[in-house]
Amino acid sequence: MHNKYKKFILKAIAAITLMVIFLLVVIPVGIISIYPKQMIGKEDTKINKVPEAKYIKVYRHLSGETEKIEFEEYVKGVVAGEMPSTFEMEALKAQAVAARTYALSKIMRSGDSGNPAQHPSAPICDDTHCQVYRDLKELKKLKSEEWMKTGWPRIEKAVESTRGEVMYYQGNLVEQPLFHSSSGGRTENSEDVFVSAVPYLRSVDSPYESEASHKSDVTSFTLSDFKNKIQKAYSDKSFGTVNKNTIAIISRSEGGRVTDIQIGNVTLTGRNIRDTLGLTSANFNISYDSNNIVFTTTGYGHGVGMSQWGANGMAKSGYDYKEILTHYYSGVDIK
Ligand SMILES: [Zn+2]
């Protein structure tokens, strides 16, 4: 009887020990191995919690399909799609970090689901709606054999030498690392072009744009053609008499883009005019040449965030990619 009792106690101790091991070791390991998958997609973008992305799902507009692409290969395809490979290495590296940051923030925000309105199957797409991405097959068709030998390796180098690096603002992953072709000399505050004020998208000087492709584009219309275009675009408005005496730029943003412009009886925004007339930017001056209204624009694009031509100019003047990024994105850290 006594021996049997002893055996029972030993068995009970063994069972309890096994149970404790199970509770303390097996279950937590199981949870940890499942948990990282669930973490991706949560809105927690704190610096220590942002996971390293291995793949990204990309919606391809031409085929209508969603592709799963190795993350850093995707970044190479964006740099190839968004910046000339002849740009300076430090500018290409800055572009790589901006493109990677944007893509990672899209993954963080949407997780496994996509952009509900535009591409529900993927967090990002391959055209200007998100950022332009070209795969090797497309690049071989679009570019020359020479480009594949000289341009592509430069892009690979820019991406590989900044592998995994993204931008943070006050410890959180940057969500909107916007960029444009050239600012015309000064970039814009985000709220002057888009809706909201973003702390790292502030108006800054962009002094190294002398080689930019759209420095002073001249576009002219006859006054009657101009009036017709505006009236067609804003058919609900009554402009009244439109001539050089009734057209006036009322205000400009810090970066120099026209914010308000009077046309006859109506006030429009510079962006309205840019979109209606197909101008390269809303940073324009108006002059008259006999019966024509002449728009002289500076810069190309919305003017918010990094100027690509400005980045190239900074790189030529000896600045590195981190200096370029912290110049155009106020207060960010690169980690
Ligand atoms: Zn998109």
Return the domain boundaries, the chain. Answer: 55-211+303-334, 217-297
Mean of pLDDT over the chain: 89
- Ligand 1 geometric centre to CA of 238 (Å): 36
Cα–Cα nearest to 313, from 304, 324, 302: 324
Any idea how long the chain is?
A: 335
- Ligand 1 geometric centre to CA of 316 (Å): 32
- Ligand 1 geometric centre to CA of 20 (Å): 50
- Ligand 1 geometric centre to CA of 159 (Å): 22
pLDDT at 52: 81
- Ligand 1 geometric centre to CA of 321 (Å): 26
For residue 34, name the pLDDT band (cuts at 50, 70, 90). Answer: very low
> Do the Cβ atoms of 219 and 294 come closer than 8 Å?
yes
* pTM for this predicted structure: 0.81
- Ligand 1 geometric centre to CA of 114 (Å): 9
Residue 291 DSSP label = T
- Ligand 1 geometric centre to CA of 127 (Å): 7
pLDDT at 5: 67
pLDDT at 28: 43
- Ligand 1 geometric centre to CA of 275 (Å): 20
CA dist 179 to 78, 106, 300, 329, Å? 13, 16, 11, 10
Statement: residue 35 has pLDDT above 80:
no
Mean pLDDT of 213-233: 94
Contacts of 30-36 with CB under 8 Å at 24 or more apart are none
Q: Give the helix ranges, DSSP H, for 254-305.
A: 270-277
Per-residue pLDDT tens over the stretch 185-219: 999 999 999 989 999 999 999 999 999 988 889 99
pLDDT at 112: 64
Cα–Cα nearest to 119, from 192, 65, 187, 186: 65
> Do the Cβ atoms of 79 and 154 come closer than 8 Å?
no
pLDDT at 234: 97
- Ligand 1 geometric centre to CA of 15 (Å): 56
- Ligand 1 geometric centre to CA of 129 (Å): 4
Mean pLDDT of 121-127: 95
Per-residue pLDDT tens over the stretch 152-198: 999 999 999 999 999 999 999 999 999 999 999 999 999 999 989 99
> Do the Cβ atoms of 215 and 155 come closer than 8 Å?
no
CA dist 335 to 41, 97, 162, 163, 173, Å? 20, 10, 10, 10, 10
The neighbour count for residue 294, using CB atoms within 10 Å, is: 14
Per-residue pLDDT tens over the stretch 79-94: 999 999 999 999 999 9
> Do the Cβ atoms of 252 and 258 come closer than 8 Å?
yes
Tell me how far the alpha carbon of residue 21 is from its chain's centroid: 49
CA dist 195 to 84, 99, 192, 248, 290, Å? 30, 22, 7, 24, 38
Q: Where is average pLDDT lowest: 21-30, 113-122, 284-293?
A: 21-30
- Ligand 1 geometric centre to CA of 333 (Å): 26
- Ligand 1 geometric centre to CA of 63 (Å): 14
220, HSE (Cβ side, Cα atoms, 13 Å): 10
